[in-house]
Structure formats: C-alpha cells, structure tokens
A and B are shown apart, each in its own frame.
Chain A
Amino acid sequence: MAARILIVEDEKAIADLIYMSLTDAGYKCEKVNDGFEAADLIEEKRYDLVLLDIMLPGCDGYELLDYLKEYETPVIFVTAKADVKDRVKGLKLGADDYLTKPFDIVELLARVETVLRRYNKNETKLSFADVVVDTEAHTVTQNGNNISLTMKEYEILILFLQNKNIALFREKIFEKVWGGEYTGDSRTVDLHVQRMRKKLGWEKRIVPVYKVGYRLEDTDEV
C-alpha cells in the first residue's frame, strides 16, 4: 500500500508542485493550505508523513508540529526559513527532517523516502517490472534469479526505482551516488548506468534523455 502523505503549504504553486511530484512517485497525497484545516485533517485521518510549511495562515508549523507529535506522525519541514537557528529549532521540536526552499524534486523524494524508511512505513521491497530489490538484504532478483551488482550500480538502480519516469541528470546521479560536486567531464556515470542496464537487460527501460541523463520509463515493451 502506498504511503499517505499530507502536504501543508499555503503557496498554491508549491503545494501543486509537491503534490504532482509525490503522486508521480507513487505516493498517495492530500494537500491543505491552512494550519487549522491541517489539524482537522490529521485528527480525522492518519498519515504516514506530513510535509509542513512553517509560515502558515491559521496556526504556524511549529504549533502544528506539537499537535502532530501526539499522533506520532513523522514530519518534514518544507520552508524558506534557511537560518541555522530555524533549522535547529525545527529539528529540536521533533521534526524528522528540514528541507529549505528552493529545493530539487529529487532531493524532496529522497528525503521523503528516507524518513518513511526510518519509520518502516515504506516497503522494504522495491519491485518494478520483473525486478525485485530487497533494501534490507541488499539483494536484487530478476524473475527469481539473483543479479550481482556492484555497490554503485545497486545505488543507481535504487535511485532510478525511486524516481520512476523522471529524467535523472548526470550531475544528479553523481551527487546522489558518489557525493560531491559533478565536474562534468567524467564518463563514470554513463559507464555505471550502462553496465547496470546491461546486467538487467533494461536497455529499453532506462533511456538516455537528450544526452544529459537517463530516465527509467514505465513501459511494457522490453
């Protein structure tokens, strides 16, 4: 069952953006633009995660966080307040993560994924087409057969599975898997993606995008 996420954000454009991105990634989302309404919704239904803005009409994010604690719902702050002071305050109050605006969609998805995994609210098994990945055992099976992948290839596969239908730019893949800044002249990313693709026989699923990156496409033709 897909995790249920509540988006509390008064800025319609941003709420739509998050909603669109998370829905595409397979989560079940609801959005609300007012602190009080959010509190009502939380009382009424249970969520696996709440994305919370701090400056809200009605009651602000900090107050809402206090209220949320009683329901033991994980919370990620999504806010323009980037001060260390504000971050510390948010995290100290019990938020699980703190994401500052402006953010990348990939970043948002990764944070959501991490927090959900921490609470075991996400499935430990990622499956896509004929491939099943057990994130606890770190094993990849295709049609019941074990596929042996290197660490980097495994991480790249996870990244693609978490970002289905989204073009992953080389720099993003590099940042996420290797860490550090992408210098642009390295063919490492392509090499690893291509080797992983070959091992799984996913040449038609993971397609290059305008020579800037790759996308895992949800297509039936293999």
Chain B
Amino acid sequence: MKFKWKLFIWTMASVTLAYCLSGSMMITSAFRVTYDKEVEIATEEHEIMQNTLIMVLSHLSKNVTDDVWRQVVKDLDDTSARKNFYFCIQNKEKSDLYQSYSMKKDGILAYNKDEGIGDTGVFLYTQDDKYLLMTRSYINSDNGKYYLNIIRDISDIFESRTNQLSIFYRIMGIIMVLTAGVSYLIAYYLAKPLFKISRVADEISEGNFSVRANLEGYDEIGELAMDIDSMADTLEKNFEELNDAVRRQEDFVGNFAHELKTPLTSIIGYADTLRSKKLDEEEIFKAANYIYTEGKRLEGMSFKLLEMQVTKQQEMVLKDVDAQYLGDNVCGALTPLMDSTGMELNVDFEPGIIIADTDLIKSVIFNAADNARKANESAGRKKVDILGKLENDKYIISIIDEGTGIPEEELGKITEAFYMVDKSRARKQGGAGLGLALCKQIMEQLGGTIEFESKVGEGTKIILTLKGKEITEEEEESEDE
C-alpha cells in the first residue's frame, strides 16, 4: 500500500477511535448523573408519600384492613393525579391490593438496592417500551407488613440518551468526513516529497542524470532528497566524463581513419596512374614525388603514434635531471635544424634540478620547439627562445616563438590528437597533428602540466611545469668529482 494511504488510514482510525471513546464516555456519564438524580428524587418522593400514608392511616381506626389500605392508596393516587406516576400496594403475602399500573414480574432490568427497614428499594423495569423506576418500601402495621410500590416512568431520560446518541452519530459522520479530508491533505503533504524523490530516482534509473529533487527541509525526507541529489551529481559527473572519454576515443578513431585515408588516396591514385597511363617525364616525376611525400607522411604519423603508444605503456622512473645540462643538450640537438631553417635559437636554463625522465622531457621540448619553428616559418620570423627557471619546487620551461599564434577558441583543442589549427599549412610542413597530443601525454606521465599562451599574429608561449628543486651542495660536489 502507498505511504499516503497508510498515513491516511491510520490517521482516520485513531481520530475515529478517540472520538468514539470520548463521545460514548461523555454520554454515558451524563446519563448516569441524570439517572442517579431520578433515583434520588424518586427515593425522596417515595419517602414523602410513605410518610403521608402513615399519617393518614394513623388517624384512622385501629384495625386497618387490606380494604382500608386499598382505599387510602387509591385516594392518594387520585389526589396526586400525576402523569407517569403509578401506585401499587401489596399485603404481606405480596399480593396486589391496588395497582394503577400493572407490572409484570419479569420486566426487571436492574435494581439499585433492596428495601430494608426504613429504607427504600429502587428497581428499574422495562415494560411496553417504557423504562420504569420502581421504589419500594414496607410499612409495619398490626396486620403485618404492607408493601408500597411507587412506579415512575423515566423513559424520557432514556429517550434523551438515544437522542444524544443519534446526534452523536450524525456529528461523528460529519467529523469523519472532515477528518478524511484533513488527514488526506496531511498525508498528501507529507508524502509529496517522497513522490518527488521517487520520481527523481526513476528518472535517474532511466538515464536522465540532470534531474534533481531540490527539496528544502531538515527532516529525514529532506536529508534523503539531498542525498539523492548529491548522488545524481556524482553520477552525472562520472557519466559526462565517461561520455567525454568515449567521444575522444571516437574522434581519435575517426580522425585516425581520415588521416590514414588521405595519403593513401594519393598513393594509390598516383600509383594507379603510373601503371595504367603513358605519362611524360614531368608527370611521372610529379606522381612519384607525391607517392614519396605522402608515404613519408604516413611514416611520420605511424612513428608518432607508436611513440605515443610506447610512452603510454612505459614504466615511469623519475630521476633528478640537471637543468643546465638538459639545456645544453637541447641546444646542441636543435641547433642544426634551426640553423638550416634560418631560425635564431636562444636557450637559457637557470641552475636547478628537474625531476623527470631525460629522454621524455627532451622529446617534449623538441616537439614544442618544432611547433615554434613552423609557426615562425609561416609568419616569416626567426626568434625561438627556450627558457628554464626554478620557482619554489617547480621548474618551468617556456618555449616562445613569434609566429602566427593560435586563436583563443582553438587553444583548448590543440592537444587533441590530429587537431590542426591550419590544416593545409600543417600538411605542407609535414605535420600530422600529433605533436602536442604527444607532449600533453608525456607531461601527464611526468606529473607536470602543459599550458599555452598565444596571441594571433604575435606568437605563442608553451609553458611546461615540472617538479623541481635547488641543487644541494652534496650534489654539486658529486658533480665536481
């Protein structure tokens, strides 16, 4: 059963029970009070009647026979002339001498007490749909005991009890309806957040991670809602990350296929032309040259991909690398290429220790410097700076060019595999769009970061941040040795 209905039924049941109990108790006690009062009045009146009877009889002759009793009581009955008020006199054998109302013996409902000497007995009878209260006492005379019974019709108090009960039932009906309404509202109000939470949970299980319960409140339900919301936050984040990873993977495969097909198209096409057509010398050279350059492009791409794959699987052992030694090394390795392309290379590394892998960090610097060279070439400029400096426990290497620069909106994408800012230019320069992707991957493995600052037309600065430290004397000594 639903929580709402449970709540509704329990509220209804408890309200109804409480109302029934209190109502019937009130009616019963009110009735009891009225009844007791009737009994009291009846007893008092009985005593008055009894005394009157005794007084009347004492004025009469000494021998008071049954007939005299009958006559006196009859007169008394006639003079009192009250409605619902009956007399009955019995002799010592308890046979009726006079009765204004015929009582049956078996109609007795209850008796409060029996008659005693100078005491009045009280009995409750029901007869002919009437409730009758009978008071009874006996008077001693020379001819023995005579019983005086006075019967009062007290149906009206029973009737009023019945009336009260029927009013009570009617009120109860109304109250039940009202209670039903109110308790339904309460149940609905209390269960509403649960509904919402349940709906949110359903949506989440169907894969819609963006829904939130957004319930306020510090009760258990509010807490549950907040827990579910934070669960959804985590799920959504993880799912997005997963989706992102899948998208990157798909992009990579798609781009890879594209990058593979483009040179293949040229190679196959020109090879086909060479074998099927009669070409002149110039055409043959052109076709062969295309086959060669596109083949080279494929080769370059496969090397880069292989390098990425290998570095990905390589176990990383980070060692202390002397920054200035690295600087000299980089400068020596890059100079021939830079000189042959007319670049002015300036390498300046502050003393310090870089915690990295020598070969990998060199690979990153070479790739970045090659990018800088190509950018300069396109812009017709010459200066390439490679600077290293120690900052606290970081060693920062910047590769700065004065080339074409990268538009701001493309900066985020340049480390994605196969991404090229200017595709046709990159192709001419033999790029496959993998250099910076490789750099990023290596930097991640070295526990460092790669960042880019660029202005279109002014140049680009690639900033490599690595763990570093100062050279301690001990190390300096060991170096000297």
Measuring CB to CB, which residues of chain A are less than 8 angstroms from any residue of chain B?
10-14, 16-18, 20-21, 24, 33, 55, 57, 80-82, 100-105, 165-169, 209, 213, 215, 217
Contacts and interface: CB of A to CB of B under 8 A. Distances in A.
A14 B262 contact: yes
B273 A11 contact: no
Interface stretch (B85-93, B155-163, B274-282, B346-354): B274-282
From B267, B275, B277, B294, residue with most partner A Cβ within 10 Å: B277
B273 A20 contact: yes
B98 interface: no
Given A10-B424, A169-B276, A105 B266 contact: no
Contacts of B278: 165, 217
A220 to B, nearest CB: 15
Given A80-B258, A167-B276, A10 B423 contact: yes
Contact of B269 (A14, A55, A213): A14
A16 B290 contact: yes
A135 B179 CA distance: 93
B283 interface: yes
Contacts of A24: 277
Contacts of A103: 265, 269
A21 B273 contact: yes
B262 A101 contact: yes
Nearest to A15: B266
Given A17-B270, A101-B265, A102-B264, 11 more contacts: A14-B265, A17-B265, A20-B283, A24-B277, A55-B423, A82-B257, A101-B262, A105-B276, A166-B277, A169-B276, A215-B276
A16 B286 contact: yes
Contacts of B203: none
Contacts of B270: 13, 17
B237 to A, nearest CB: 29
Interface string B253-267: 000011001111111
Nearest to A24: B277
Contacts of B290: 13, 16-17
Given A80-B262, A169-B276, A13 B283 contact: no
Contacts of A105: 269, 272-273, 276
Interface residues of B, number: 27
Contacts of B283: 20
Nearest to B272: A105
Contact of A17 (B266, B276, B424): B266
A80 B261 contact: yes
A167 B423 contact: no
B293 interface: yes
Contacts of B294: 13
A18 B422 CA distance: 23
B268 interface: yes
B269 A168 contact: no
Contacts of A102: 261, 264-265, 267-269
B130 interface: no
A219 B264 CA distance: 33
A80 B424 contact: no
B192 interface: no
A194 to B, nearest CB: 20
Nearest to A10: B424
B254 to A, nearest CB: 8
B427 interface: yes
A13 B291 CA distance: 9
Contacts of A55: 258, 423
Contacts of B264: 101-102
Given A10-B424, A80-B262, A101-B261, A165 B277 contact: yes
B277 A167 contact: yes
A169 B270 CA distance: 16
Contacts of B263: 13
Nearest to A168: B276
Contacts of B258: 55, 80-81
Nearest to B291: A13
A11 B427 contact: yes
Interface string B275-307: 111100001001000100110000000000000
A72 to B, nearest CB: 29
A58 B273 CA distance: 30
Nearest to B289: A13
B262 A17 contact: no
B288 to A, nearest CB: 12
Nearest to A78: B265
Contact of B266 (A10, A11, A100, A168): A11
B7 to A, nearest CB: 53
A82 B267 CA distance: 18
Given A101-B265, A103-B269, A167-B277, A13 B293 contact: yes
A80 B423 CA distance: 15
B92 to A, nearest CB: 122
Contacts of B293: 13
B265 A80 contact: yes
A97 B177 CA distance: 75
30 contacts: A10-B424, A11-B262, A11-B265, A12-B427, A13-B266, A13-B293, A17-B266, A17-B269, A17-B290, A18-B269, A20-B283, A21-B273, A57-B422, A80-B261, A80-B265, A81-B258, A82-B257, A101-B264, A102-B265, A102-B268, A102-B269, A105-B272, A105-B276, A166-B277, A167-B275, A167-B276, A169-B276, A209-B276, A213-B276, A217-B278
Contacts of B262: 11, 14, 80, 101
Nearest to A164: B277
B437 to A, nearest CB: 19
Nearest to B278: A165
A102 B271 CA distance: 12
A57 B276 contact: no
Interface in B65-86: none
Contacts of B265: 11, 14, 17, 80, 101-103
Contacts of B424: 10, 12, 33, 57
A209 B273 CA distance: 14
A21 B278 CA distance: 12
A168 B270 CA distance: 15
B91 to A, nearest CB: 121
A31 to B, nearest CB: 13
Contacts of B422: 57
Q: What are the nearest 7 A-B pairs in CB distance?
A: A167-B276, A13-B266, A80-B261, A101-B265, A102-B265, A17-B269, A80-B258
